[in-house]
Amino acid sequence: MARNVGPEDRVVRIVVGLGLAVLAYLQVLPPIASIVLYVLAAYLVLSGLFAWCLLYKVADIDTSIQEQPYSSTDDRAGL
């Protein structure tokens, strides 16, 4: 599996996943909604840890590709 989730996206997924898990644990919503929150939290945390998302794969999205700074020969030569 090639990575398709970038570093910023990974952090957001893990933080949101942990937040949803806490909400589900505190049972602020009905039991069925808590189960849905647990499943969603598990998906977000796992996709953040493994840096791979099935939905991104289906939609052909790749946030792991970082734009490289442009460099010309003049920059490297110190001119």
Eight-state DSSP code of residue 69: P
Question: Is residue 14 domain-resident?
Answer: yes
Q: How far apart are CA 23 and CA 30, in angstroms?
A: 11
How many whole angstroms from its chain centre is CA 50? 9
Question: Is residue 2 domain-resident?
Answer: no
Tell me, yes or no, if the pTM score tops 0.75. Answer: yes
Total number of domains constituting the chain: 1
Question: Is residue 25 domain-resident?
Answer: yes
CB-CB neighbours of 25 under 10 Å: 12
Question: Is residue 20 domain-resident?
Answer: yes
pLDDT above 90 covers a percentage of the chain that reads: 67
**Token couple for 1:** 């599996």
* Segment 18-55, tens digit of pLDDT: 999 999 999 999 999 999 999 999 999 999 999 999 99
Residue 26 belongs to what domain range?
7-62
Residue (of 3, 1, 11) closest to 48 by Cα position: 11
30 vs 71, residue with greater confidence: 30
